[in-house]
Chain A
Amino acid sequence: MSLFFIVALPFFGALLPGLMNAAGRTATAGVTFTVTLAAFIGLLSNLPVILAGEVVTARVDWMPALGLNFTLMLDSLGFFFALLILGIGLLIIAYARQYLSRADHMGEFFTYLLLFQGAMVGIVLSDNILLLLIFWELTSLSSFLLIGYWKHLPEGRQGARMALTVTGMGGLAMIGGMMILGQIVGSYDLSVILQSRELIQADPLYLPALILILLGCFTKSAQFPFHFWLPHAMAAPTPVSAYLHSATMVKAGIFLMARMWPVLSGTTEWFVIVTTAGLVTMVLGAVIALFKHDLKALLAFSTVSHLGLITMLLGTGTAFGAMAAVFHILNHATFKAALFMSAGIIDHEAHTRDIRRLGGLRTLMPITFVIVCLAALSMAGIPLLNGFLSKEMMLEEANHTVLFNNPWLVPVLATFGSLFSAAYCFRLIGHVFFGPVRDDYPAKPHDPGAGLWLPPALLMIPVVVIGIAPFVAEPFVKLVTASVLGTAAEMPSAHLKIWHGLVPALYMSIIAVVGGLAMLAIFKPALRIWEGTPRPEAKVIFEAIVEAAARLAQALILPLHNGAFSRYAAIGVITIVVAGYYSWTTGTIGAPAYALQPANPVLVAGWGMLVAATIGMVFLHRNRFLSLILIGIVGLIVSIGFVFLSAPDLAMTQFTVEVVTIILMLLALNFLPKRTPVESSVLRRVRDVGLAIAGGLASFAMAYHYMLRDPVAASISEFHLANSYKGGGGTNVVNVILVDFRGFDTFGEIIVLSIAALLIYALTETLLGGRVGAKLLNRKPDQPRAGDMHPMMMVVMTRVIMPVVLMVGFYIFLRGHNEPGGGFIAGLIVSIGVVMQYMASGFSWTSARLKYPYHGVIGAGVLVAGFTGIGSWFVGKPFLTSDFTYVRIPPFEKFELATAALFDVGVFLAVVGAVMLSLESFSRLARRADSPENMHPMDIDPSREDLKEGV
Chain B
Amino acid sequence: MELLIASAIGVLTAAGIYLVLRLRTFPVILGISLLTYAVNVFLFTSGRVAVGVPPVLRDDITTYTDPLPQALVLTAIVISFGMTAVVVMIGLGAFLGSDDDHVDDQPNDRSEGTS
Contacts from A to B (Cβ < 8 Å): 562-567, 569-570, 573, 594, 596-599, 603-604, 607, 610-611, 614-615, 617-618, 621, 624, 627-628, 631, 634-635, 638, 641-642, 644-650, 653-654, 657, 660-661, 664-665, 668-669, 671-673, 676-677, 679-680, 688-689, 691-693, 695-704, 706-708, 711, 715-717, 720-721, 724-725, 731-734, 737-738, 742, 745-746, 749, 752-753, 756-757, 759-760, 763-764, 766-767, 771-772, 775-776, 818-820, 824, 828, 911, 914-915, 918, 921-922, 925
CB atoms of B10 and A617 under 8 A apart: no
* B56, B57, B65, B91, most chain A CB atoms within 10 A: B56
* Min CB gap A448→B, angstroms: 50
- Annotate B42-61 by CB proximity to A: 1 below 8 A, 0 otherwise: 10111111111111111000
A763 to B25, CA, bound (A): 17
A760 proximity list for chain B (CB < 8 A): 85-86, 89
Q: How far is the CB of B53 from chain A (nearest CB, A)?
A: 5
A634–B33 Cα distance when bound, in Å, is 10
Q: B105 near A820 (CB under 8 angstroms)? A: no
Q: Is the CB of B84 within 8 A of A661?
A: yes
**What's the least CB distance linking A153 to chain B, in Å?**
28
Shortest CB–CB separation between residue A768 and chain B, in angstroms? Answer: 10
A interface secondary structure, majority: helix
CB–CB A721/B74 < 8 A: no
Q: Is the CB of B2 within 8 A of A756?
A: no
Q: Which residues of B contact A706 (CB under 8 A)?
A: 42, 45-46
Complex CA distance for A679 and B28, rounded to whole angstroms: 14
CA A76 to CA B92, docked complex, whole Å: 65
Nearest neighbor of B92 in chain A, beta-carbon distance: A668
> B8, B17, B28, B113: which has the most chain A beta carbons within 10 Å?
B17
Q: Are A647 and B70 in contact (CB under 8 A)?
A: yes
User: What is the minimal beta-carbon distance from A578 to any residue of chain B, in angstroms?
Assistant: 14
Closest to B13 in A: A699
Does the CB pair B27–A621 fall under 8 Å? yes
Contact-residue size bin, chain B (C-beta under 8 Å from the other chain): 35 or more
* B82 contact set on A, CB distance < 8 A: 752-753, 756-757, 914, 918
Q: How far is the CA of A621 from the CA of B71 in the complex (A)?
A: 32
Does the CB pair A715–B68 fall under 8 Å?
yes
Q: How far is the CB of B69 from chain A (nearest CB, A)?
A: 8
A672 touches B68 (CB 8 A): no
B34 touches A614 (CB 8 A): yes
Contact (Cβ within 8 A) A703 B6: yes
Q: Pick the contact of A618: B15, B41, B86 (CB < 8 A).
A: B15
- Whole-angstrom CA separation of A633 from B52 in the bound complex: 23
Give me 11 other A-B pairs in contact (C-beta within 8 A), A565-B104, A695-B17 excluded.
A569-B20, A573-B21, A631-B34, A641-B8, A649-B74, A653-B74, A661-B85, A679-B23, A688-B17, A721-B64, A733-B55
Residues of B within 8 Å of A669, CB to CB, are 26
Cβ–Cβ contact A653 & B15, under 8 A = no
| A647 CA / B66 CA spacing, docked (Å) | 9
Name the contact of B51 in the complex, choosing from A566, A645, A707 (C-beta under 8 A): A645
Residue in A599, A628, A696, A733 whose CB lies within 8 Å of B11: A696
Q: Which residue of B lies closest to A637 (CB)?
A: B8
Binary CB contact string for chain B from 74 to 93 against chain A (1 if under 8 A, 0 otherwise): 11011111111110111111
Shortest CB distance B72–A (Å): 8
Q: Does A672 contact B92, Cβ atoms closer than 8 Å?
A: yes
Q: B86 touching A759 by the CB < 8 A rule?
A: yes
B21 with A569: CB separation less than 8 A? yes
Instruction: Give complex CA distance A618, B50 in Å.
Output: 31
Q: Complex Cα distance A629/B63, Å?
A: 38
A631 to B33, CA, bound (A): 8
Taking CB atoms, residues of chain A closer than 8 Å to B29 are: 665
Given A649-B74, A707-B6, A749-B75; A771-B97 close (CB under 8 Å): yes
B residues less than 8 Å from A573 (CB atoms): 17, 21
Interfacial chain A residues near B53, Cβ < 8 Å: 646
With A731-B58, A760-B89 known as contacts, the answer to whether A676 contacts B27 (CB < 8 A) is: yes
CB distance from A815 to the nearest CB of B (A): 10
Known: A598-B1, A599-B4, A733-B64. A646 touches B54 (CB 8 A): yes
Which has the most chain B C-beta neighbours within 10 Å: A668, A671, A820, A911? Answer: A668
Assess the B90–A763 pair: CB atoms within 8 A.
yes
Assess the B105–A562 pair: CB atoms within 8 A: yes
User: What residues of A have a CB within 8 angstroms of the CB of B103 in the complex?
Assistant: 564-566
Interface contact A650-B44, CB-CB below 8 Å: yes
DSSP class of B's interface residues: helix, strand, loop or mixed?
Answer: helix
CB distance from A658 to the nearest CB of B (A): 9
What would be 19 A-B contacts, judged by CB atoms less than 8 Å apart? Answer: A565-B104, A610-B8, A615-B11, A617-B34, A618-B19, A627-B30, A634-B37, A641-B5, A650-B44, A661-B85, A671-B96, A672-B101, A696-B11, A699-B9, A699-B10, A706-B46, A708-B2, A734-B71, A760-B85
Asked whether A695 and B13 contact (CB < 8 A) given A671-B92, A731-B56, A763-B93, the answer is yes
Q: Which residues of A contact B3 (CB under 8 A)?
A: 596, 599, 704
* Closest beta carbon of chain A to B52's beta carbon, Å: 6
Residues A627 and B13 in contact in the complex (CB < 8 Å), given A654-B77, A720-B67, A757-B85: no
C-alpha gap A621/B21 in the complex (Å): 12
Interfacial residues, chain B to chain A (CB-CB below 8 A): 1-15, 17-30, 33-34, 37-38, 40-42, 44-58, 64-68, 70-71, 73-75, 77-86, 88-93, 95-97, 101, 103-105, 109-110, 113
Question: Measured between alpha carbons, how far is A745 from B76 in the docked complex, in Å?
Answer: 11
Cα–Cα distance between A914 and B75 once the two chains are bound (Å): 14
CB pair A734–B79 under 8 Å, yes or no, is no
Provided the pairs A653-B74, A757-B85 are in contact, do residues A617 and B30 lie with their beta carbons within 8 angstroms?
yes
Tell me if A767 and B37 are in contact (CB < 8 A).
Answer: no
Q: Report whether A673 and B101 are in contact in the complex, using a CB–CB cutoff of 8 Å.
A: yes
If the complex has contacts A596-B1, A634-B34, A707-B49, are A767 and B11 also in contact, measured as CB distance less than 8 A?
Answer: no
A649 vs B26: C-alpha distance when bound (angstroms) = 30
Specify which chain B residues have a CB less than 8 angstroms from the CB of A745 in the assembled complex. Answer: 75
Contact A716 B27 (CB under 8 A): no
CA distance A565 to B14 in the complex (A): 18
Measured CB to CB, the closest approach of chain A to B5, in angstroms, equals 7
* Cβ-closest chain B residue relative to A773: B96
Give CA–CA (A752, B75) in the complex, Å.
11
For A627, what are the chain B residues with a Cβ–Cβ distance below 8 Å?
27, 30
Report which residue of A627, A756, A915 has the largest number of chain B beta carbons within 10 angstroms of its beta carbon.
Answer: A756
A766 to B25, CA, bound (A): 20
B19, B54, B80, B97: residue with the most chain A Cβ atoms closer than 10 Å: B54
Docked complex Cα distance between A676 and B29 (Å): 13
Are A697 and B34 in contact, with the CB atoms below 8 A?
Answer: no
Given A621-B30, A631-B34, A647-B65, residue A563 in contact with residue B109 (CB < 8 A): yes
Q: How far is the CB of A696 from chain B (nearest CB, A)?
A: 3
Query: Which residue of chain B is the closest to A697 with respect to CB atoms?
Result: B10
Tell me if A918 and B30 are in contact (CB < 8 A): no
Pick the residue among A566, A634, A671, A696 that contacts B14 (CB under 8 A): A696
Q: Would B18 and A922 count as touching, CB distance under 8 A? A: no
Measured between C-beta atoms, what is the minimum distance from A310 to chain B in Å?
48
Residues of B within 8 Å of A914, CB to CB, are 82
Complex contact A703–B96 (CB within 8 A): no
Q: How far is the CA of A771 from the CA of B91 in the complex (A)?
A: 17
Bound-state CA distance A771–B58 (Å) is 60
Distance between Cα atoms of A567 and B37 in the complex (Å): 23
Which chain A residues border B33 with CB–CB below 8 Å?
631, 661
Please tell me if the beta carbons of B88 and A668 are within 8 angstroms of each other in the complex.
yes
Q: Please name the residue on chain B nearest to A611 by beta carbon.
A: B11
Which one, A638, A731, A752, contacts B57 given CB within 8 A? A731
CB distance from A646 to the nearest CB of B (A): 4
Closest residue to A767 on the B side, CB-wise? Answer: B93
